[in-house]
Amino acid sequence: MMWRKFKLAIVAGTILILALLAAGTTLLLSNAERTARQAARAGLERSAQAVETAFNRQVLQVDGALASLPALFAGLAPGGAITPDAATQLLRGLNFQTLAFRDLYLVGADGVIWAATRRRGAGRPLPFGMAEFNQTRTIGSSAVFGPVRNQVTGDWSLYVGRLIELPPAGETKAGEVLAVAEVPLPVLTRGLAETGLQPGLRVALQRRGGQLIASLPHDEVGMGRVQAVRFDGLRADGRAFVLPETGGPDAAFAVVRPTLYGNIFVGLTIPRDVAMADGRRDRVRLLATTGAGAVLIVAFAVALLVALRGRERLDAERTRASTVLTNAIEAMSDGFVMWDENDRLVTWNRRYCDLYAESAPFIVKGALFEDVIRRGAEAGQYPQAEGRIDAFVRETVAWHRACSGTIERQLPGGQWLLITERRTADGCTVGIRTDITALRLALADLAAATRRANEAAEEAMRQNAILSEREGRIRFLAHHDPLTRLPNRVLFRSELDVALRAIQEQSGSVAVLYLDLDRFKDVNDTLGHPAGDELLRLVAERLRACTGHTVVARLGGDEFALICASSDLPTEAEALSRRLIAEMRCPYDVFGHAVVTGASIGIAVATAGDLDGDTLLKQADLALYQAKAAGRGTVCVFAEDMSARLRERLEIEADLRSALANRQLELAYQPIHDLAADALCGYEALLRWHHPVRGSVSPAVFVPIAEETGLIVEIGAWVLRQACADFAMLPGRLRIAVNLSPLQLAGSAIVADVTGVLAETGLDPDRLELEITETALFSKGHGNKACLEGLRALGVRIVLDDFGTGYSSLSHLHHFPLDKIKIDRSFVQDMPERENSAAIVKALAGLATELGMCTTAEGVETAQQLALVREAGCTQVQGYLFGRPQPILRVVEAVAAASGPRRPETDLRALG
């Protein structure tokens, strides 16, 4: 039966592992898709910037040549007029000096060419009109004309014109002349192609109004025509977007950038399938790898089942052998006993029970060695255990487990036994008990004297060893961390001073690396402080293994420091930092838990005579702060501007404190609609800050600072009170949703605070919804559940916000008292394009319905998204399609308008 259970466990475990493998593969595929899309957009944006730069450079080169003509003509005729022949010679010489343009013209005010690099060009009108240029005709102004097909070569050309002032010519009185350079499109597009465009990419140049003036690859049919997609009607900020905006199988990534010539735009497009080709190949490789892993897992499970079958047969053989052994040992004249590898009694003979008469009632199969000894000592089996049973049991168990040979034991009535124990190959212990009472009586006096002498010597040695150990430990702890046994701050500071003196004497440089663990607090909060201590010990071991002879110290908490002396700094320090970060990311085995963490590193470098130790440590600390602000797992080398950025952050923190005191913070309310009732059902309170100098400050900037400094608790209390007061004066049953930060939820007074606000404002508790994130659930461990239950007992509704972006554990839905879950906007906005996002939304809505919860779909901005979330079964929606965040006065007007008679054509968005 036991083996059957083992087999079933292996089968169930294999199925579970395969399910986890499938889930992990799905998550990796989703992340890979998103990463590939971001990489494609970034590459397209870089190409667009390169093409714009190449176009500006070529046109500016031509414009610069035109701008140099007045100086060249002034040198040609210092005091006299310029004849067309002289001008033609000058233009021809200039034309031969560059390949950026083909022909140069000088055009009078009547639009007729009076000088050109080719004589046949003089006297003819320009091949394009000058009306647009004449409207802003000023000296030094320039413009790009065309495209125009060259009648001689048949190529398309652009014309760069610049109004210049020349000395009066023989046939012209005015000094204003339009200098024009013809730029062949093949020359222009060749320069654009040299920027390294990826295959499948299309480049187009358009005028304002959509006229195509150049493209790569060349579009002969569309040249000079107004295109269906006009660049001036699209976003021209250099950021990638999707064309058409609704997506579809023919969608493409596009980027539009304006050039230095404001009426000309550069646009790049690439089919989305082409841009995402590498991502699809990665997807195939991942699926192949997953399939191979699944095959190996199944093979391993089969191998385990085969091994269990062999073990089952082995146990049967062992049972038969045990029967034979029992018959043999019963015939022995000495006592015989056997204990298994876990010190449990396996077998014994009758002589053994006769020798241990007082312990006989406790000698039963399966009894622990320690229990038999203890209960026998309590029954008087061992005279030497009287008054010291615990110590006797510990000594006997220690000797038994060591199997160190033989020992003599006294029994009641003056009887002595010679106890011999040996360990078998399979870990069992075999013991023989021989009666040596007669021999023992003869040697008793000699043994007693010898024992007393040995005990005295051993005690003296033990006391000396204890004193020596204590002195050494005190000396060690003065300069080392007791947890990791690394140098502490005192010893590290001393080693740094030594390193700084060394580089002053021998030249060179030294770097200090500050390392701070990422997500260490999560380990402490979820697994407990003993797990956190174990993680710190493991990190210390890895640091020692990675750095060799480099000084490594623990400064406190999860912060470590290293000293790196080298002639190639900071390059070598950065390389060491990258190796350390990669090593820190490898999983740790902490009490059976696979813990994954990371590290951020700040570096400060000093050369001979450059810095003292205190300044170097402060710079490393600033660099570490900057690295942590830039994101987890990053390396930052100290730069002089870091102090300024730190001051900027401190200024924002001070301004935020002042804003809270001076009532600069405001609330805006975004409507929430009930799909079943087709009506407004509530609002969410959103925090806004209008600084008198900085203007509108984004919550993404000041909210993280408020959370780090603890101001979020005071701000959150104000938001809760203000929102409740605003909505207490509104009629009806509209609910107000207020966000709670993890720090607020971690506080012990949150239930009392909410109770006080409800009593002060008179708001019905059923109208208040408190939104928390999944991260907040872990900020206080199991205490959070009690807090939420206390809030819910008041009648307040509990909402889980941004579900699907944090830990996303389904256990939250039944472990914590929740009334509603809000599905993150990332899933809603991807629903039209990604079937898996729609499936996730539908699954979450169905699960919430079965658990008796409401679901709110966030970020609904289009009618298509509204139809999809309605079809998925969501009960409520929120997003720009129904209204943007608005002040309370607008909310009052909207509620008043909604309470009046409705026209038949009024829809959900009328209240937003």
Tens-place pLDDT, residues 66-105: 888 887 877 776 555 677 777 777 787 776 666 678 788 8
**Closest CA relative to residue 560, chosen from 655, 494, 489:** 489
Using DSSP's 3-state secondary structure scheme, residue 562 falls into strand
pLDDT tens figures, 730-771: 888 899 999 998 888 877 688 999 999 999 999 999 999 999
Give the alpha-carbon dihedral of 464, 469, 471, 474, to 10 degrees. -160
In the numeric block, which tokens belong to residue 700?
């993404």
Strands of the 156-165 sheet, one edge to the other: 113-116, 103-107, 176-184, 156-165, 142-149
Handedness of CA 868, 871, 874, 877 (dihedral sign): positive
φ, ψ dihedrals at 269, nearest 5°: -135, 150
pLDDT tens figures, 214-229: 998 988 888 889 888 8
Domains and CATH numbers, the chain: 60-274 (3.30.450.20), 334-435 (3.30.450.20), 489-639 (3.30.70.270), 651-895 (3.20.20.450)
Q: How far apart are CA 862 and CA 623, in angstroms?
A: 44
Check whether 906 has a pLDDT greater than 50.
no
**Closest CA relative to residue 9, chosen from 304, 448, 445, 223:** 304
The better pLDDT of the pair 392, 276 is held by 392
Check if the beta carbon of residue 621 is closer than 8 Å to that of residue 602.
yes
Q: Rounded to two decimals, what is the model's pTM?
A: 0.43
Mention every residue, 6+ apart, whose C-beta is less than 8 A from residue 160.
Answer: 59, 62, 63, 66, 101, 142, 143, 144, 145, 180, 181, 183
Which H, E and C letters describe 271-285, residue by residue?
EHHHHCHHHHHHHHH
Instruction: Tell me the range of 118-127, 384-393, 751-760, 824-833 where mean pLDDT is highest.
Output: 751-760
Check if the beta carbon of residue 434 is closer than 8 Å to that of residue 416.
no
Check if the beta carbon of residue 741 is closer than 8 Å to that of residue 776.
yes
The CB-based long-range contact list for 884-893 (8 Å cut-off, 24+ gap) reads 884/670, 884/912, 885/668, 885/669, 885/670, 885/686, 885/688, 886/668, 886/669, 886/670, 887/666, 887/667, 887/668, 887/669, 888/667, 888/669, 888/726, 891/669, 891/683, 891/726, 891/730, 892/730
Q: What is the pLDDT of residue 277?
A: 77
Q: How far is the CA of 632 from the CAs of 230, 257, 602, in angstroms?
A: 42, 33, 12
* Residue labelled with tokens 């909505």: 727
Least confident of 80-89, 630-639, 658-667: 80-89
In the numeric block, which tokens belong to residue 570?
């900071």
Using DSSP's 3-state secondary structure scheme, residue 873 falls into coil
Q: What is the pLDDT of residue 245?
A: 60
Buried b (16+ CB within 10 A) or exposed e, 465-483: eeeeeeeeeeeeeeebbee
**Closest CA relative to residue 763, chosen from 794, 798, 800, 717:** 794
Q: How far apart are CA 318 and CA 320, in angstroms?
A: 5
Check whether 887 has a pLDDT greater than 50.
yes
* Count of other CB atoms within 10 angstroms of residue 707: 16
DSSP state letters, 587-634: -EEETTEEE--EEEEEEEEEETTT--HHHHHHHHHHHHHHHHHH-TT-
Q: What is the pLDDT of residue 220?
A: 85
pLDDT tens figures, 310-335: 887 888 788 777 777 777 777 787 88
Average pLDDT across the chain, whole number: 84
pLDDT tens figures, 339-383: 898 999 988 888 888 888 888 889 999 999 989 999 998 888 888
In the numeric block, which tokens belong to residue 273?
């399938």
pLDDT tens figures, 114-134: 888 876 666 677 777 666 556
Handedness of CA 73, 76, 80, 82 (dihedral sign): negative
* Residue labelled with tokens 């658990």: 851
**Closest CA relative to residue 580, chosen from 626, 628, 629, 634:** 634
Check if the beta carbon of residue 350 is closer than 8 Å to that of residue 358.
no
Q: What is the largest CA-CA distance in the chain?
A: 148
